[in-house]
Amino acid sequence: MNIAKSTADNHAVYHVMDDILPWFHLKSVPGVGNHLFKRLLDRFNSPQNVFRSSEKNLLAVDGMTVGCVAAIKHHKIPDRVTAELERLAGSNFRIVTLTDPDYPQLLHRIPDPPPFLYVYGRVDHGADKIAVVGSRNATGYGLQTSGNLSADLAGLGLTIVSGMALGIDTAAHEGALSVNGKTVAVLGSGLERIYPARNRKLFHRIAENGAVISEFSLNSEPEAHHFPVRNRIISGMCLGTVVVEATRKSGSLITARLAAEQNREVFAVPGSVQSFKSVGTHTLIKQGAKLVENIQDILEELPPLPQPAANVRDSGPDDNSKTPAALNADEARVYRALGPYGVHIDELARELSMAPARVSSLLLQLELKGLVNQSPGKFFCVSER
């Protein structure tokens, strides 16, 4: 972390090493955003050299103004920076800067990379990464597909990157963890403001098998404008982005657009034409995104992996044409009427011309056999097999 804690005169004294404080100092200068920070770093190699440089040399940097030069020369370290570093010293988090070997390699290549990242866990900077993102309010089909794709990709050594949101993101992280694979979560809040709160356990599990990262200060709230900003990190650190399920105005489409602008691959999983939750992914496919039925469709667009892509599981829509054995005639009728998308029990009863009580009883038997899942509101779909 480059921050050490010691005790002197019975008081905690925090010593901030010279190679970390200047990064926070320069980032806090009014007018120095991520674009300009990167140009300054490209020119002078370190924040320390920026502060030491002459006004003439600073003005030679593209985008630099006289006012910004004056701000750099006269800006004092804010108290909030000192307080932030003290919080870091007492935490399990660390700072990874643009010049740190642990900074994600591909993230260097975007126009506005974060000058530094707050990291909980460890980012394997050299590992190939793929983003898997989608709707927070996902269908059973979307959750299953996200989990399967992520598990298969992680099983081949790819690191799964997502945003730790509910729905598709959570399923992606859990899919990777299910095979002891690596996964990285990029937050739209500070590391001390876990969002969503119900993913607290997942937050720690991810850090054990990868990392949780953020460019926002430790105490930053999950404000709405943070999420489009963090999406450039998700896409920027990955070879490609897979959108599993997305509505017309989904934030996942922003991630896909950023991936395309960053010259990265964009993939989309098709869904039902009757589901508004797949309108966004279908739009991406129309615009040229690679249609994904299984991970082979993804691997074809990526550099060769060390492991052979064998025994690829189809992570697309379930084939429900085969009825499991050991079902009686009525159970089989109900089972065949279901698919990956939830169907309300009343609609099912009308379709099958059965009494609702009878359909309810049959669905219960199918649930007990692990063949059917129930969602809130009495919607039913086939379970993963």
- DSSP letter assigned to residue 323: P
- Between residues 44 and 312, the one the model is more confident about: 44
Report the alpha-carbon angle 284-289-293, nearest 5: 100
pLDDT of 353 > 80? The answer is yes
**What pLDDT, on a 0 to 100 scale, did the predictor assign at position 371?**
87
| Higher per-residue pLDDT: 372 or 186 | 186
Cis bond before residue 196 (omega within 30° of 0)? yes
Q: Is the pLDDT of residue 4 over 60?
A: no
For residue 83, what pLDDT is reported? 92
In this structure, how many other beta carbons lie within 10 angstroms of the beta carbon of residue 77? 14
Q: Give dist(CA 125, CA 133) in Å, integer.
A: 20
> What span, in angstroms and rounded, lies between the C-alpha atoms of 372 and 306?
38
How confident is residue 289, by pLDDT bands cut at 50, 70 and 90? very high
Side-by-side strand order, sheet with 379-382: 343-344, 379-382, 372-375
Closest CA to 279 of 252, 239, 324, 248: 248
Q: Is the pLDDT of residue 78 over 90?
A: yes
Report the C-alpha gap between 129 and 154 in whole angstroms. Answer: 9
Higher pLDDT, 202 or 355: 202
For residue range 201-228, list pLDDT tens digits in order.
Answer: 999 999 999 999 999 999 999 999 999 9
Over residues 326-344, mean pLDDT:
84
pLDDT: which is higher, 10 or 128: 128
Contact predicate 195/188, CB 8 Å:
yes
Q: What is the pLDDT of residue 275?
A: 85
Alpha-carbon Rg for the chain, nearest whole angstrom, is 25
Token code pair at residue 339? 């698919």
Number of Cβ atoms within 10 Å of the Cβ of 300: 10
Domains belonging to the chain, first-starting first, are: 3-90 (1.10.150.20), 121-299 (3.40.50.450), 329-382 (1.10.10.10)
| Structure tokens given for 83 | 């307080």
Which segments of the chain does DSSP mark as H helices, in order?
A: 21-27, 34-44, 47-52, 55-59, 66-74, 79-89, 140-155, 168-178, 200-208, 226-236, 251-261, 279-286, 295-299, 329-337, 345-352, 356-368
Nearest Cα to 43, choosing from 30, 32, 59?
59
- The pLDDT value recorded for residue 5 is 42
Residue 286 has pLDDT above 60, yes or no: yes
- What is the predicted pLDDT for the residue at 381? 84
Look at strands 372-375 and 379-382 and give their pairing.
antiparallel
135-139, 143-147, 189-193, 303-307: least confidently modelled range: 303-307
**Which whole number is the average pLDDT over 136-151?**
92
Residue 338 confidence class, pLDDT cut points 50, 70, 90: confident
The pLDDT value recorded for residue 312 is 47
- pLDDT band (50, 70, 90) for residue 109: very high
Query: How far from the centroid of its chain's Cα atoms is residue 164's Cα?
Result: 6
Least confident of 210-219, 287-296, 361-370: 361-370
Pair of tokens at residue 171: 């399923």
Check whether 292 has a pLDDT greater than 60: yes
- Mean pLDDT of all residues belonging to the chain: 88
Answer yes or no: is pLDDT of 248 > 50: yes
- For residue 8, pLDDT over 50 is answered with no
Distance of alpha carbon 257 from alpha carbon 134, whole angstroms: 13
Output the six-digit token pair for 367.
């649930």
Asked if pLDDT for residue 9 goes beyond 80, the answer is no
Q: What is the mean pLDDT of residues 79-104?
A: 92
pLDDT class of 249 with cuts at 50, 70, 90 = confident
* Placement of tokens 């926070």 in the chain: 24
pLDDT value of residue 311: 43
Confidence (pTM): 0.79
The torsion angles phi and psi of 210, rounded to 5 degrees, stand at 170, -120
Contact between 345 and 378 under an 8 Å Cβ cutoff? The reply is: yes
Nearest CA among 98, 110, 84 for reference residue 191 = 84
In the prediction, which pLDDT does 18 show? 56
Distance CA 361, CA 98 (A): 60
Share of the chain above pLDDT 90, in %: 66
Residue 90 has pLDDT above 90, yes or no: no
Q: Which of 93-97, 251-255, 281-285, 351-355 has the lowest mean pLDDT?
A: 351-355
